[in-house]
């Protein structure tokens, strides 16, 4: 059961770490079972060609802010920073109960204690008397910008996953060019060809074992954050509407129990301005 006392928590993602360990163990184990050696694929030159070439291609493709953001977001692949929907519901119900007893203006003294920026901003707008539809539009715009910015960082890893296999082929061709210079020694030719194809292995492996899975992992994190923030927005608008806290709880628990069903329901209940956010969720 999620920790209901803490809205946002960070913990190691053992699925990512375990997946990388299992993948590497399987590949290296298969190599050894085929009478190969780890030294057969431990080629610094091949790694330099693949990683350096991929980084260069990604730098040409990606704007610098997105590239820097992608480097920072790599920690989110190995660590899960998660907003607890259960904790968010409990916090919102607390505000709803207080607002129902003492009016929404009474929440002003609690604004500085709210740790989640999205929830704090939404409640601040509500306390300041912002019109319900305007509040929804403003927060949905912020949510859209957050999602677009975060997905641009995930696409950096997608791009790297697309480039690295091709860069690996370039490394293999470069290796074969060097082999062709020494055709007089057939033993060296055979050994050189084997070494040349290591770059291809590196390119395909780093794409399918890290870059593409990392992109999908980041997208999963984004979708969870968007859903959690949609929950917060729905809670704040319900408080502004003066809805009974018990009904708000029932409404918000649908995000946790039946997220897809809840979003379909939201399309019919909310205004046209809310529809794009529900579709993105």
Does residue 272 surpass a pLDDT of 50? no
pLDDT at residue 220, rounded to an integer: 93
- Is the residue at 7 inside a domain? no
- What's the confidence (pLDDT) of residue 161? 96
Residues 207, 161 contacting (CB under 8 angstroms): yes
Instruction: Say if strands 8-12 and 79-83 run parallel, antiparallel, or are unpaired.
Output: antiparallel
Question: How far, in Å, are 9, 48, 112 from residue 88 at the CA level?
Answer: 12, 46, 16
Tokens of 26: 């399987």
CB count, 10 Å around CB of 198? 22
* 156: pLDDT strictly greater than 90: yes
User: In which domain, by residue range, is 36 found?
Assistant: 13-42
Region 14-25 average pLDDT: 92
pLDDT in tens, 126-150: 999 899 999 999 999 999 999 999 9
pLDDT band with cut points at 50, 70 and 90 for residue 262: very low
Same structural domain, 78 and 21:
no
- Mean of pLDDT over the chain: 85
pLDDT of 3 strictly over 50: no
Note whether 124 and 54 are same-domain residues: yes
DSSP 5: S
Q: Do 18 and 143 reside in the same domain of the chain?
A: no
Q: pLDDT tens for residues 79-113?
A: 988 888 899 999 999 999 999 998 889 999 889 88
Q: Please check the confidence at residue 21 and state whether its pLDDT lies above 80.
A: yes
pTM of the model: 0.79
> Is 172 among the domain residues?
yes
Residues 36 and 49 in one domain: no
Residue 181 belongs to a domain: yes
């Amino acid at each position: 059961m999620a920790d209901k006392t803490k809205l946002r928590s960070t913990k190691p993602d053992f699925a990512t770490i375990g997946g990388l360990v299992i993948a590497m163990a399987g590949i290296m184990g298969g190599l050894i079972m085929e009478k190969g050696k780890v030294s057969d694929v431990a080629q610094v030159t091949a790694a330099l060609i693949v990683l350096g070439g991929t980084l260069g291609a990604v730098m040409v493709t990606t704007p610098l802010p997105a590239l820097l953001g992608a480097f920072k977001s790599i920690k989110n692949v190995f660590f899960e920073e998660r907003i607890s929907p259960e904790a968010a519901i409990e916090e919102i119900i607390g505000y709803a109960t207080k607002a129902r007893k003492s009016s929404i203006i009474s929440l002003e003294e609690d604004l500085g204690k709210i740790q989640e920026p999205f929830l704090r901003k939404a409640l601040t707008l509500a306390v300041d008397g912002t019109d319900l539809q305007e509040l929804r539009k403003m927060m949905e715009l912020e949510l859209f910008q957050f999602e677009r910015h975060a997905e641009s960082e995930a696409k950096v890893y997608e791009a790297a996953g697309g480039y690295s296999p091709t860069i690996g082929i370039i490394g293999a061709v470069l290796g074969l060019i060097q082999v062709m210079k020494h055709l007089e020694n057939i033993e060296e030719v055979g050994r050189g060809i084997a070494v040349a194809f290591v770059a291809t292995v590196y390119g395909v492996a780093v794409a399918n074992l890290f870059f593409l899975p990392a992109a999908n992992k980041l997208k999963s994190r984004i979708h969870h954050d968007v859903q959690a923030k949609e929950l917060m927005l729905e809670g704040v608008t319900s408080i502004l509407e003066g809805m009974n806290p018990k009904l708000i709880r029932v409404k918000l628990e649908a995000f946790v129990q039946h997220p897809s069903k809840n979003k379909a329901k939201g399309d019919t209940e909310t205004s046209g301005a809310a529809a794009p956010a529900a579709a993105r969720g």
